């Protein structure tokens, strides 16, 4: 019998629920991905670059034209000038970037603070580096940082804190004041940050995303991670990037070059072209997804689910206490998929210690209007 290095890891909830949705024919509002395509010009550009012979390895750090587009977008969005050569690394997905950042700095015995509910890839990545996750629960109502719990969790072994804003699964946003408070708390300590900002352009109601890139003190110790998959509706392209100060980027690249060496070449060419031609895409994204959120929430208003509209991401949490308080959220998600025809994600799987009385499931609204209408129709009769 092999002695597993990840004994607690099974198949992810995203795979499980998407498979169940396919088997049962349920509308799949579980795993986060759009049911519509990315821009035509972007897809055409991939075909063109493949036809033009851009089919061999990209540079290890990423195609220069794409790194420059990322740097230009960061300057426009967050007012920071980053060096495209020494601070931007293109990775095959944000997940790989997060993994490499963790491997680059975490050693045996180090502790990494994560906030629950937390994205599923962080903990296995920390464990493979020999570290240990210390889970700090966010507030159960508004998913804000509980500063006392964070202070209590810090120890001399704390080597990293992983932030995620906009937050999956709750959609909560971190504020500038919270980043300032974090900076003050760790000012004299040797602690790195991974800031998972893959939903950076999905922030609603006129609010601006607060990036660690715009915070001088925090950026100096940070790996800021994003994903073209979310921003350009192409999750299956698994292309992302990590921005970090030169010394941290150099360490990240030592890992990245042996995990994958580089990202997929024609995808990088296409993204570089599209970003250069359509810098407005990222500015239009909030309105695009806010319209979906509002349509979906309006349609759900007559239902027995209760919710407050999310501030960011393409996920809406809904409380089902008025419907099946007898079911825990995993059973509720299974029942909704099998019996009601709508696949969802239970929130408890994002916790080390689930909150027993919580009755929340996550619905993905990155869907065509007809899908949202069909799903809402089913959800309103449960």
Q: Which residues contact ligand PMP by CB under 6 A?
A: 32, 93-95, 119, 164, 168, 196, 198, 227, 229, 235, 238, 240
Minimum CB–partner distance for residue 176 and ligand GLN (Å): 26
Q: Binding partner of residue 196 among ligand PMP, ligand GLN, none, CB under 5 to 8 Å per kind?
A: ligand PMP
Q: Do 230 and 78 meet the contact criterion of CB atoms below 8 Å apart?
A: no
Preceding peptide of 169 cis, ω within 30°: yes
Minimum CB–partner distance for residue 12 and ligand GLN (Å): 6
For position 14 contacting ligand GLN by CB under 6 A, the verdict is yes
Q: Binding partner of residue 31 among ligand PMP, ligand GLN, none, CB under 5 to 8 Å per kind?
A: ligand GLN
Residue among 129 and 323 whose Cβ is closer to ligand PMP: 129
Residue among 14 and 307 whose Cβ is closer to ligand GLN: 14
Minimum CB–partner distance for residue 31 and ligand GLN (Å): 5
Residue listed under structure tokens 């293109």: 90
Please tell me the distance from the alpha carbon of residue 114 to that of residue 291, in angstroms, as a whole number: 31
Reading the block at residue 148, the tokens are 């006392």
Minimum CB–partner distance for residue 169 and ligand PMP (Å): 8
Residue among 14 and 335 whose Cβ is closer to ligand GLN: 14
Count residues binding ligand GLN (CB under 6 A).
Answer: 5
For position 31 contacting ligand GLN by CB under 6 A, the verdict is yes
358: Cα separation from own chain's centroid: 22
Task: Tell me the three state secondary structure of residue 244.
Answer: coil
Residue 111: enclosing H or E segment and its boundaries? strand 111-116
DSSP code string of 225-251: EEEHHHHTT-GGG--EEEE--HHHHHH
Residue among 323 and 347 whose Cβ is closer to ligand PMP: 347
Residue among 32 and 240 whose Cβ is closer to ligand GLN: 32
Residue among 16 and 61 whose Cβ is closer to ligand GLN: 16
Q: Compute and round to an integer the Cα radius of gyration of the chain.
A: 20
Residue 194: enclosing H or E segment and its boundaries? strand 192-196
Q: Binding partner of residue 164 among ligand PMP, ligand GLN, none, CB under 5 to 8 Å per kind?
A: ligand PMP
Please tell me the distance from the alpha carbon of residue 224 to that of residue 219, in angstroms, as a whole number: 8
Minimum CB–partner distance for residue 188 and ligand GLN (Å): 35
With CB under 6 A as the contact rule, the residue among 16, 32, 153, 240 that binds ligand GLN is 32
Residue 265: enclosing H or E segment and its boundaries? helix 265-277
Reading the block at residue 294, the tokens are 């509002």
Please tell me the distance from the alpha carbon of residue 127 to that of residue 374, in angstroms, as a whole number: 41
For position 348 contacting ligand GLN by CB under 6 A, the verdict is no
Minimum CB–partner distance for residue 340 and ligand PMP (Å): 25
Minimum CB–partner distance for residue 14 and ligand PMP (Å): 8
305: Cα separation from own chain's centroid: 25
- Which is nearest to 221 in space by CA: 246, 199, 197? 246
x/- map, 149-168, ligand GLN, by CB under 6 A = -------------------x
Minimum CB–partner distance for residue 307 and ligand GLN (Å): 18
Strand-pair category, 240-243 with 315-319: unpaired
- Which is nearest to 105 in space by CA: 254, 261, 218, 213? 254
Q: Binding partner of residue 316 among ligand GLN, ligand PMP, none, CB under 5 to 8 Å per kind?
A: none
Note the residues at the interface with ligand GLN (CB under 6 A): 12, 14, 31-32, 168
């Amino acid at each position: 019998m092999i002695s597993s290095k990840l004994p607690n890891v099974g198949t992810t909830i995203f795979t499980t629920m998407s498979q169940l949705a396919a088997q049962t024919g349920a509308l799949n509002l579980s795993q986060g991905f759009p049911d519509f395509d990315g821009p035509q010009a972007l897809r055409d550009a991939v075909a063109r670059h493949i036809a033009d012979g851009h089919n061999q390895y990209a540079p290890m750090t990423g195609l220069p034209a794409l790194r420059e587009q990322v740097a230009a977008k960061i300057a426009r969005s967050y007012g920071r000038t980053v060096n495209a050569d020494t601070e931007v690394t293109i990775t095959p997905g944000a997940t790989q970037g997060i993994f490499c950042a963790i491997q680059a700095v975490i050693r045996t015995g180090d502790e990494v603070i994560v906030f629950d509910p937390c994205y599923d890839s962080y903990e296995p990545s920390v464990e493979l580096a020999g570290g240990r996750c210390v889970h700090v629960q966010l507030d159960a109502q508004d998913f804000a940082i509980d500063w006392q719990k964070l202070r209590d969790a810090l120890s001399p072994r704390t080597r990293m804190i992983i932030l995620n804003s906009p937050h999956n699964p709750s959609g909560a946003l971190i504020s500038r004041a919270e980043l300032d408070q974090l900076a003050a708390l760790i000012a004299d300590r040797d602690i790195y940050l991974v800031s998972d900002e893959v939903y950076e352009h999905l922030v609603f109601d006129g609010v601006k995303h607060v990036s660690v890139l715009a915070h001088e003190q925090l950026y100096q110790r940070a790996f800021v991670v994003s994903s073209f998959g979310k921003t350009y509706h192409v999750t299956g392209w698994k292309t992302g990037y990590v921005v970090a100060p030169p010394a941290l980027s150099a360490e990240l690249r030592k890992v990245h070059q042996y995990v994958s060496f580089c990202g997929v070449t024609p995808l990088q060419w296409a993204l570089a072209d599209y970003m250069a031609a359509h810098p407005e895409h990222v500015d239009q994204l909030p309105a695009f997804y806010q319209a979906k959120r509002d349509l979906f929430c309006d349609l759900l208003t007559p239902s027995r689910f209760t919710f407050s509209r999310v501030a960011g991401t393409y996920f809406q949490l809904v409380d089902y206490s008025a419907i099946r308080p007898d079911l825990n959220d995993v059973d509720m998600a299974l029942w909704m998929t099998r019996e009601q025809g709508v696949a969802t994600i239970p929130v408890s799987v994002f916790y080390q210690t689930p909150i027993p009385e919580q009755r929340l499931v996550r619905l993905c609204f990155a869907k065509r209007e007809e899908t949202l209408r069909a799903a809402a129709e089913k959800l309103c009769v449960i």
